[in-house]
Amino acid sequence: MLRRAVRIRLIVAAAAITIEMAPAWAGAPAISALDYSADIGANLVDANTFVARKDFVIDDLSGARVRQPIPGLPDNVILRDFHIEPNDNILLSLDIGVALSGTYYAPADVIRYAGSFTREFDSAAAGVPPGVHCDGIARWGATGKLLLSFDRTFTASGVTIRPADVIAYSAGAFGPKVVDSRALGIPDNFNVDAIDTFRTKRYVLVSFDSGGSIGGITFTSADILQLDSASGAWSKRYAPSTFSDRWSKADLDGLAAVNIDTIFEDDLE
């Protein structure tokens, strides 16, 4: 598939470093690699490698980084968020409506790329109103349910969904909320714009579209926070500004993490 050979090379190169140095993060599993994207084009790999707004970066967390394009995306789109399936299919959302291979996808749809494009989540059928954008995509542990976030407040399936919420979607209905912004005291002006669970049900990685403070943690729009959904505790898992000073002007708006500790797939954490 598109990225498997690159991923295997990076994981093998970094495996010893990751196992030895990965922090415990209050019992959360180790993350062996990160994929991420930004809202602006920038040299996020190195000084000579430009990563467009529609591309993402594969990062082994020890300094090796590779630009990864998604074939067939037009140059004028921004990759809003993405999720890598176990078979290397990519689920993604875009900042604008776009026709791909003759099919129109709305900005709130989730698109599957598997060599060609198909619709994974039909926002109109799910009751998402026009003008709303999907800006967060993940899977909820081994449940198979989609986790989604959106950039505007709306009500569907009898649930009010806010920009800082992360909510499950399955069998044509929304719920439950995995990140409930009101219950967690997240300010209404915050917007989650990238999410991942690294194959767990308990832990959620999030990035916000602006800087701020939550749970005593101060962050920028490029930082990656971790929420322990069992305790409600927040921590800062990654600060991409330590990867490259080019993050000073970029907002991290796409995120996928690789967890090779497969025991956590069973949600026994």
* Interval 22-37: pLDDT, tens: 343 557 888 999 999 9
Looking at residue 245, its pLDDT comes to 85
Residue 137 — φ and ψ, nearest 5°? Answer: -140, 135
Q: What percent of the chain has pLDDT over 70?
A: 87
* Interval 108-126: pLDDT, tens: 999 999 999 999 999 999 9
Residue 100: CATH number of its domain: 2.110.10.10
pLDDT at 50 over 80: yes
* Interval 129-173: pLDDT, tens: 999 999 999 999 888 999 999 999 999 999 999 999 999 999 999
- In the chain, the number of structural domains is 1
Looking at residue 254, its pLDDT comes to 97
Q: Which carries the bigger pLDDT value, residue 89 or residue 22? A: 89
Single out the residue of 86, 85, 83, 105 nearest to residue 96, CA to CA: 105
Average pLDDT value for residue range 48-61: 96
Provide the residue type at 156 as one letter: A
Residue 4 pLDDT level (bands cut at 50, 70, 90): low
Range of the domain at 48: 4-266
